[in-house]
Structure 1
Amino acid sequence: MYTREEAKRIKEEFWTRFGQFMALSTSEEGTKVNWINYKTGVKHLYFRMDADNKTAQIYIEISHPDAGIRELMYDQFVEYRLLLEDSLGETWEWDPVYYDDNQRKTARISLSINRKTSIFKQEDWPDLISFFKPRLLALDSFWSTAKYAFEIFK
């Protein structure tokens, strides 16, 4: 078991190394990107990654506080589902209503790693990077095309 400070340090080290590794990759449009804090340019719309002692997950989170707007944003993703899945090369889980860790109502499109991995085991880091990197690049590829359909939500 790790203390809170140790757990925080290990997580920070992983995300720092992942960010350094991803810094070698440019966006679909050829620009430099902060991959850890990917900017969609749309408020309340995020591409996120998470890892803990059991699993890892990458997801699109729609967290607009207005339920109607959140639903419209989700529906826009539904309209672009084929393009998204074509970019990703796989099917993700679609949740029009999802409660985050703080019990806030959001919408989420996600994929979890299909085996037990832990961010606290350095030997699992290559698996985590191999899980996150291609999907983050695929999300960027999708977003370079689809972002114009979301400008109404800016």
Structure 2
Amino acid sequence: MYTKQEVSRSKQEFWTAFGWYMKPVPSAEGIPVNWKNYKTGIPHLYFRMQAERDFAAVSVVIQHPDPGIGELLFEQLLALKPLLENELQETWAWLPVECTAQGKAIYRVERKLEEVNVLEKESWPEIISFLKPRIIALDAFWSNARYGFEGLI
């Protein structure tokens, strides 16, 4: 069993290691990028990476406070699904809309790796090998696709 401090410290160490590992990798446009805190430039549209006790995941998350705009952003992403899947070279899960306790709609497209544990350092190479190509592919997708989202907000 891990204490909260151990969990927090281990996750912080992992993301620091991931950041150092990814630091020399430029974006699709050839510029430096903070891969862990990737900025899409579109408010309320995020590329997220997770590393937890029982899985790792990469996702595109739309969490707009205006339900209509959130749905519009998701429809645009859905229209670009062939481009996204071509860049990723795999199929991701298009999850049903979730509603938070505050009534916000959350749209999510994700890929998960099960049975890895960020708290065990021996899992880190597998987690990094899972996250790295997918966040790079999302960046390559976004370098072309972002223009289709700019006029929607």
- TM-score clears 0.5: yes
- Shift of residue 100, structure 1, vs aligned partner: 6.3
Aligned AA for 1:136? I
CA deviation string 1:29-76 (max 9, x = no partner): 000000000000000000001111111111000000111110000000
Aligned to 2:79: 79
Q: Which residue of 1 aligns with 2:18?
A: 18
Equivalence for 2:33 = 33
Is residue 72–residue 152 contact of structure 2 (8 Å, CA) maintained in 1?
Answer: no
- Quote the residue 1:51 is aligned against: 51
Asked if structure 1 preserves the Cα contact closer than 8 Å seen for 2:67 and 2:104, the reply is no
For 2:106, the aligned partner's letter is: T
Gaps of 5+ in 2: none
Supply the distance in 1 between the matched residues of 2:101 and 2:58 (Cα, whole angstroms).
15
TM-superposition CA deviations, 1:60-98 (whole Å, max 9, x none)? 000001111100000000110000000000010112402
Structure 1, unaligned stretches of length 5 or more? none
Distance 2:84 2:131 in 1: 16
In 1: Cα distance, 2:102 partner to 2:6 partner: 23
Taking the aligned partners of 1:62 and 1:99, their CA distance within structure 2 comes to 12
Moved more, 93-102 or 51-60: 93-102
CA contact (8 A) 1:50 1:58 kept: yes
With the length of structure 2 as denominator, give the TM-score of the two structures: 0.95
Question: C-alpha distance in 2, partners of 1:100/1:112?
Answer: 21
Q: Equivalent residue for 2:136?
A: 137
Q: State the match for 1:64 in structure 2.
A: 64
Supply the RMSD in Å over aligned alpha carbons: 1.6
- Post-superposition shift, 1:2? 1.1
Distance in 2, Cα, partners of 1:55 & 1:122: 14
Query: What TM-score comes out, normalization by structure 1 length?
Result: 0.94
Q: How many residue pairs get matched?
A: 153
The change in CA–CA distance for 1:77 and 1:130 in structure 2 (over 3 A counts) is same
